[in-house]
Amino acid sequence: MIQLDSVCFAYEGHIALRNISLDIAKGETVVLQGANGCGKSTLLKLLNGLVFPEQGRYLFDGQEITEQVLKNSLFSRRFHQRIGFIFQNADVQLFCGSVQEEIEFGPRQMGLSEEEIVQRTEDVMALLDIAHLKGRAPYQLSGGEKRKVAIACILSMNPDVLVLDEPLAGLDRKSQIWLVSFLQQLRKAGKTMILSTHNEELAHSLGDRLVYMNEDHEIASIVRNR
């Protein structure tokens, strides 16, 4: 489903990804690990079409993802429906006036009927136990609440692939336990997931494969976990 061939990327000359080659199959869960600054978030951004390889290629379902290809708005919309990204910092992805509008935004962009939009929004709010937040302004929520809203927004579009950057960061113990078991359910249901974490426990409990990056921004090793 996802194929990276010798991908390199630098931010204005500052190298962030070096020679990354990785194939991810449909239904697989891959966990990225490595020290601060090794390139995990950059790799996840690249998978989501926010940055592009300077060398090498990124193929999603056989289609090379380039800046040019994503300029096609129809393709871009389809692509972003199929791959959902939850940022390390939820603030950058929440921009609506209320939690409900925020969750409805994706399904509305997809052109679903009003009935379907309302149904999906109710379903994900129930799933994430955030119905009581629906009238609140997202920017006023706590970090953990924002994370749940960000997850709800992505799930409401039912993407084939979920990309999560440090999903446990900033969550209290109870929310962490809840989120780990929630992600385990998604994995069992066959969702393709790619996530980064500094949490060994999460990596081992969730990852089919663990990908370790080193401080030279390369893949140091790939370990099969199950």
Q: Toward ligand ATP, which CB reaches closer, 20 or 149? A: 20
What's the min distance (Å) between Cβ of 198 and ligand ATP?
7
User: According to the binding rule CB under 5 A, does residue 41 interact with Mg ion?
Assistant: yes
Question: Which segment (21-29, 39-47, 111-119, 127-135) binds ligand ATP by CB under 6 A?
Answer: 39-47
Number of residues that bind ligand ATP (CB under 6 A): 12
What contacts 151, CB < 8 A, 6 or more positions away? 86, 128, 167, 179
Burial of 111 (0-12, 13-18, 19+ CB in 10 A): exposed
Q: Which of 25, 37, 78, 109 touches ligand ATP (CB under 6 A)? A: 37
Q: Toward ligand ATP, which CB reaches closer, 81 or 88? A: 88
User: According to the binding rule CB under 6 A, does residue 39 interact with ligand ATP?
Assistant: yes
Token pair of 163 as six digits: 């990309």
First to last CA, the chain: 19
Q: Which of 2, 16, 130, 162 touches ligand ATP (CB under 6 A)? A: 16
Token pair of 61 as six digits: 């379902």
Q: Provide, for the chain, the percentages of residues in helix, strand and coil under a 3-state DSSP scheme, each rounded to the nearest 5.
A: 40, 25, 35
User: According to the binding rule CB under 5 A, does residue 197 interact with Mg ion?
Assistant: no
Pattern 80-119, ligand ATP, x by CB under 6 A: --------x-------------------------------
What contacts 211, CB < 8 A, 6 or more positions away? 22, 30, 31, 32, 33, 219, 221, 222
Token pair of 137 as six digits: 């302004």
Token pair of 169 as six digits: 């960061």
What contacts 49, CB < 8 A, 6 or more positions away? 65, 70, 76, 79, 80, 83
Q: Which of 6, 11, 55, 204 touches ligand ATP (CB under 6 A)? A: 11
By beta carbon distance, the residue nearest Mg ion is 41
User: According to the binding rule CB under 6 A, does residue 40 interact with ligand ATP?
Assistant: yes
User: According to the binding rule CB under 6 A, does residue 36 interact with ligand ATP?
Assistant: yes
User: According to the binding rule CB under 6 A, does residue 42 interact with ligand ATP?
Assistant: yes
The H or E element that residue 104 is part of is helix 99-109
- Residue numbers at the binding site for ligand ATP (CB under 6 A): 11, 14, 16, 34, 36-42, 88
- Residue numbers at the binding site for Mg ion (CB under 5 A): 40-41, 88
